[in-house]
Amino acid sequence: MSRVPGWLGRLGAGLTEMSERLNERRAEVEKEHADSADRVDSAGPGAPAPAGGPAADASAAESPVLPAPRPAPPSGPRPDPAQAVPWGVRVAAEAGWRLLVLAGTVWVLMRVISAVQLVVFAFVIALLVTALLQPTVARLTRRGVPRGPATALTAISGFVVIGLMGWFVTWQVMENIDTLSNQIQSGIDDLRNWLLKSPFHVTDKQINQIAKNLREAIGANADQITSAGLEGVQVIVEALAGILLVFFSTLFLLYDGKRIWEWFLKLVPAAARPGVAGAGPRAWRTLTAYVRGTVLVALIDAIFIGIGIYFLDVPMAVPLAVFIFLFSFIPLVGAVASGALAVIVALVTQGVFTALMTLVVVLAVQQIEGHVLQPFILGRAVRVHPLAVVLTVAAGGMVAGIGGAVVAVPLVAVTNTVVGYLRQYSEEIQRQKAAAPPAGEPAAENAEAPAHQG
């Protein structure tokens, strides 16, 4: 037991000596590190680092690694957030909200037009009729007839002719309705016999089932047919009101069209007034050329197709020709619908061969119209691509029915003319501004005038 305290004493003395040595070694390392830092500071920031040895490596190994300080935030104002958005995104956003505003404006305009649809259609039809009759008024005025009587005579004559056409079609249909019904019944029987003997393997049971389905459909929709008949009275009243609006609008447009146009120009802002004043007459010439050309083409179609179906002994050839004339005012679609009507009447009254011959006549006349009459008569006055015509007629029919299909193409033709003229007008204005001398400098002829006088 006497040896234990001595052993502990020696162990304590050894630990104390080791601790003193470590403290001395730490003090030396810290001193060497401080000396190297002083030398670096005295040598400047561009001086090379001192060559290290074992002691330097040891001091570097034992020196603590401090984290790099964070950069201080900028003291100036932050940049504009719009500058941080890419340029393409900003352009898309600018175009997007403008398109939204434009779409909203068009939607509101369409709602307003749909609310007063009768008035809008009456005025547009009056414009078309005025474009057709205005040359006659101008011709009578040049021959010495006062403008008032010339306007009244032309308008009344035009509407009398249109009314006589409608009366003639109605009279022909009512006169031939009984004969036509018998011919249709006989044609249906012939068509049924032809189907039974045809290679399509149609049986009598299938034909009877189709007839039964048609009768059931008519009986199930009897209420809707009755309500449609009652709504027809309202349609007739609206049609009469529209005819009166068209008549009076046409009278005023024929008599006072120039003053109405001048009053409209006063509503246009002064900066845009010269361009609109130049676009108006060009738009009117385009509309006049379209209406007169369409009437002439429709008249030629009606005459030649009517002559063809007359010689083929198709019933009511003259009323069908009038229908073809009226339907021709709907581009592309009207010609197809009127031709299909003539073929169907020929099929149910005269048989398959006569229907095929009627189809040949209709297609031949329409081909002549599309490749000869339209380019020759309309020429370059109405430059609308056929695809644009098809899409325009479809859109007009979806928005406003038959009336929309009728006015869609002349509206697009006039818009095309106006936009083309305004583009040329804007380019001419820019060219004149570029050619004009800067502000404060005299013009070329004014600058050369004193030299010429001297």
Alpha helices in 63-176 (DSSP H): 81-84, 87-115, 117-142, 147-175
For residue 201, what pLDDT is reported? 66
- The percent of residues above 70 in pLDDT, for the chain, comes to 67
The first and second tokens of residue 86, run together, are 């890419």
148 half-sphere exposure, CB direction, 13 A CA radius: 0
For residue 448, what pLDDT is reported? 44
C-alpha to C-alpha distances, 80 to 77, 83, 84, 85, nearest whole angstrom: 9, 5, 7, 10
Per-residue model confidence as pLDDT tens digits over 192-213 = 777 777 666 667 777 677 766 7
Q: How many CB atoms lie within 10 A of CB 128?
A: 21
For residue 182, what pLDDT is reported? 67
For residue 27, what pLDDT is reported? 76
Per-residue model confidence as pLDDT tens digits over 394-433 = 888 787 777 777 788 888 888 888 888 888 888 888 888 8
* Amino acid type, 244: L
Closest CA to 294 of 253, 257, 335: 335
Average confidence score pLDDT of the chain:
75
- Least confident among 17-21, 34-38, 123-127, 250-254: 34-38
pLDDT above 60 for 70: no
Residues 6+ apart with CB under 8 A from 93: 85
Per-residue model confidence as pLDDT tens digits over 318-358 = 888 888 888 887 776 777 788 888 888 888 777 778 888 88
pLDDT above 60 for 43: no
Per-residue model confidence as pLDDT tens digits over 294-325 = 888 888 888 888 888 888 888 778 888 888 88
Provide the pLDDT confidence category of residue 101 given band limits of 50, 70 and 90. very high
Q: Is the separation of the CB atoms in 285 and 381 below 8 Å? A: yes
pLDDT above 60 for 293: yes
Is the pTM above the cut of 0.85? no
pLDDT above 60 for 44: no
Distance CA 28, CA 19 (A): 14
Long-range contacts of 40-43 (CB under 8 A, 24+ apart): none
The first and second tokens of residue 112, run together, are 């307003």
Q: Which residue has the higher pLDDT, 63 or 238?
A: 238
For residue 440, what pLDDT is reported? 56
For residue 439, what pLDDT is reported? 57
pLDDT above 70 for 32: yes
